[in-house]
Chain A
Amino acid sequence: MATTASFTLNAPDFTGGSSFTVSTQLYKAGTTTAIDQFTGIARIFKEAATNNISLVDSGDYTSDKAHKLYVKNTSTTAANTYILMEIASDEPIGRLFPGDWMFIPVDGTDHIKASTSAAGMSFEWGFFHEG
């Protein structure tokens, strides 16, 4: 069983900004055994701006593992709208503007949550985990 994640960044206008790609297999913590659990890709639509939508509840997962979270803001709302990603009790990670996505490791110690800044926003997310 194997899941591959690849990231490509292309920044031709920056000096030395030729395209680069990194790839990795999603393994369980400290091993070369593939992660074998996945939530699937969920799509969330919120008619109103909504705070603290729980994506990862730390109580549901083992701590100190090599879980991975993918989130994409699929909204077509105005450019100044965003999804605020937070960890634990309101510690901001960052803002996903329309079209932005992120892929992060999650160790399962704290909650991960999302807040939509405006009405009519949507996002998709998936969690690769070890249980």
Chain B
Amino acid sequence: MATVSASLSLTSTDLTSNGLAISTSTNLVKAGTKRTGLDNTSGVGRKSTESLDQYTLLYADEYTSDKAHKVYLKNTSVVASEYFLISIDDEPMGRLYAGDFAIFPWSATDGTKEVATLTFTGTWTTSDSLTFDGVTVTTGSGVNASGAAMRAAVYPNWTTSGADADCIFTAKKSRADQEIDASEMTISDASGSDATISVATTTNGLDDASNIKITPSAATTMLLEYALLYEL
């Protein structure tokens, strides 16, 4: 069983008249337990950037929500003016200036994954194809066989389910910017057989409520050190 202890000290001889000396330590244990240590870790990693673009460091839907996960972040910069803005989803939490670190619990609250149903209609043959998410699928003879072929393919950003002429696409990540419709599906009707489709959104996607997003303050090389201690 993993034992992970974390200690924090905050000291100052002159912030207050009588000095400041706060010291606290705890074993990092799983939610709702007293002695079962957190047993998963990302390890201590580093991420380098050279732009001002915000990026998602940790996706909440990759972890169980409402557990006792802990996040460690450190800005390794030595330039006093350089900072990383730490945001929970789209809410800015704080700026991590050069040398600063942060330790905090993380709820990893999930968002909602987009779900859409593709239905083959019209007449489909084995010489037709349909392209979606960068994947071109050779369809089958008839709508049900085409649905099966579409469900059997592997997509970068979607999983599939459904039956008969339907292929239900479920997003792999919870995102708000992933609306799909028929315009994102390219039909190659080589047989000229009047191959058609319909696409209906059944669930609108929403970003994870607590994705951890990082925005560097400088377009020069900035290096963030991070670690996640988590439970399943």
Contact = CB atoms under 8 A, between A and B. Distances in A.
A96 B66 CA distance: 10
A94 B101 contact: no
A31 B104 contact: no
Contact of A107 (B15, B34, B92, B104): B92
A20 B101 CA distance: 13
A106 B93 contact: yes
Interface string A97-128: 10111111111011000000000000000101
B43 A94 contact: no
Contact of A92 (B37, B94, B95, B109): B109
Pairs A-B, 5 closest by C-beta atoms:
A94-B105, A105-B94, A80-B32, A3-B12, A92-B107
Interface in A55-108: 64-68, 70, 72, 79-80, 82, 84-85, 87-88, 91-97, 99-107
Nearest to B9: A6
Question: Could you tell me the dominant secondary structure of chain B's interface residues?
Answer: strand
Contacts of A97: 29, 31-32, 68, 105
Interface in A4-41: 4-14, 16-17, 20, 22, 24-25, 27, 29-32, 34-36, 38, 40-41
Given A8-B6, A80-B32, A96 B14 contact: no
Contact of B10 (A5, A79, A107): A5
B107 A110 contact: no
Interface residues of B, number: 67
A27 B20 CA distance: 16
B72 to A, nearest CB: 7
A87 B109 CA distance: 13
Contact of B12 (A4, A29, A31, A107): A4
Contacts, number: 200
Given A29-B95, A65-B95, A22 B26 contact: no
B221 interface: no
A22 B101 contact: yes
B22 A126 contact: yes
A14 B97 CA distance: 29
26 contacts: A2-B12, A2-B14, A3-B11, A9-B4, A9-B6, A10-B4, A11-B2, A11-B5, A11-B41, A34-B15, A70-B8, A79-B29, A79-B32, A92-B210, A94-B70, A94-B71, A94-B107, A95-B66, A97-B29, A97-B68, A97-B105, A100-B68, A101-B103, A103-B101, A106-B94, A110-B91
Contacts of B32: 79-80, 97
Contacts of B210: 91-94
